[in-house]
Structures are given as C-alpha cells and as structure tokens.
Amino acid sequence: MNIGFGGGELFVLAILAIIIVGPKDLPKMMRTVGRLVGQARNMAKDFQRSFDEMGRESELEDLRKEINALKEANPVADVRKELRDMERDLRSPAEVKADKIKAAADLAADEASANSIAPPRPEAEQPDKKIKTGAPEDE
C-alpha cells in the first residue's frame, strides 16, 4: 500500500515526530498509530467482504430466478400443446363435429345411466320340453 510518501518525506516526518513528541513517548505513539492503522485495514477488509458477499448474493438470486423460470417453462408440455393444436388444425371439420357429437353422446349416456335404476332383467326362457317329475300334473 503506497500512500504517496517518498523516502525523504518519511525522514522529515520521523525527525518532526522525534522533535514534537520526544524520544521518550515516541514508542508509545508509534504503537498507538500502528493499532489505528491495523483497525483501519480491518475495517477496509470488512467493507470489501461485505461488498463481495452482496455481489455473490445478487448472483445467486439471479441464478435462482433463472432456475425457477426454467422449471416453470416446461418445454415438453409446450411442445405437446403445440402438437395438439397443429393436429386439431389439420383435422377436417367433419371429424371435429363427429368427435363433438360422440363426446356429447357419451356424456348423455353417462348421465342417463347415473340417473336410472338398474335395467330390468330378461325373463328366463321356458324350456321347450316339459320335464317329467312323476307328479299327476305332468301326465
């Protein structure tokens, strides 16, 4: 990290610090300055990390949106729908009418069977020959 001071400028600052602060308190002041510089660097790193994290979160959110869009798109269903539409367009109007009539007839038959009681049973057929049991009526 270059803060823009050259060697001569640093030498002048060191001499001024010795003159102003004095040689006795100079080590204490340098420790304090070192701590402040360390805290400033840590704050800068935290700031940088927070921006990096926000960037990653926004990228993840964009990826989630794309994934959800792909899930909702469902290209197979779209292709099936288009094929059904094309088939319907290609069929003749007579076939379409016949299908509609058949569907209506099936619906009516379903409703009629749901609303009616069971159909009557056919009568049992009488045998052509009478069975002889030995009773006086049989003769």
| Separation between Cα atoms, residue 139 and residue 130, nearest integer Å | 10
* pLDDT score of 43: 94
Q: Is the pLDDT of residue 111 over 90?
A: no
Q: Domains of the chain: which residue ranges?
A: 10-73, 75-114
* pLDDT score of 125: 58
The C-alpha angle 15, 19, 22, rounded to 5 degrees, equals 115
Mean pLDDT for 24-31 is 88
* pLDDT score of 85: 81
* Cβ neighbours for 132, distance < 8 A, ≥ 6 positions apart: 138
Q: How far is CA 12 from the centre of its chain?
A: 65
Q: How far is CA 42 from the centre of its chain?
A: 39
| Separation between Cα atoms, residue 138 and residue 132, nearest integer Å | 6
Higher pLDDT, 114 or 31: 31
In this prediction, what percent of the chain has a pLDDT beyond 70?
77
